[in-house]
Amino acid sequence: MAKRPGTAKPDIAPSDAPPAIADASAQRKLPPREAAVEALMRLAAEQPWNDIEVGDIAREAGLSLAEFRDLFPSKGAVLGGLSRIIDRKVLEGDASDLADEPTRERLFDVLMRRLDAMTPYKDALRRISYALRGDPLSMLALNGVALNSHRFMLAAAGINTEGPLGRLKLQGVVIAFARTVEVWLDDDDPALARTMARLDKEIRNGERFMERADDARRLTAPFRALGRSLLERGSRSRRGLHARDDRNEDAGNPLGGDPAAAI
* Domains detected in the chain: 30-93+100-219 (1.10.357.10)
Assign 224 a pLDDT band (cuts: 50, 70, 90).
very low
| Selection from 48-52, 134-138, 223-227 with the highest mean pLDDT | 48-52
| pLDDT value at 204 more than 70 | yes
Burial readout 216-243 (b: 16 or more C-beta within 10 A, e: otherwise) = eeeeeeeeeeeeeeeeeeeeeeeeeeee
Q: How many angstroms separate the CA atoms of 52 and 219, rounded?
A: 52
- pLDDT score of 230: 56
| Mean pLDDT, the chain, whole residue set | 79
- pLDDT score of 72: 96
Higher pLDDT, 15 or 62: 62
Q: Give pTM, 2 decimals.
A: 0.70
Query: What SS3 state is found at 261?
Result: helix
pLDDT tens by residue, 94-138: 777 777 788 889 999 999 999 999 999 999 999 999 999 888 988
Assign 169 a pLDDT band (cuts: 50, 70, 90).
confident
Least confident of 10-14, 38-42, 65-69, 234-238: 10-14
Least confident of 73-87, 143-157, 191-205, 218-232: 218-232
Report helix angle 166-185 to 136-156, nearest 10: 110
- pLDDT score of 259: 39
Q: How many angstroms separate the CA atoms of 107 and 199, rounded?
A: 10
- pLDDT score of 183: 97
Quote the distance between the C-alpha of residue 120 and its chain's center: 19
52 exposure class (CB count in 10 Å sphere: 0-12, 13-18, 19+): buried
Q: How many angstroms separate the CA atoms of 263 and 251, rounded?
A: 17
Q: How many angstroms separate the CA atoms of 239 and 120, rounded?
A: 62
Q: What percent of the chain has pLDDT over 70?
A: 68
- pLDDT score of 216: 47
| pLDDT value at 22 more than 80 | no
Q: How many angstroms separate the CA atoms of 124 and 185, rounded?
A: 10
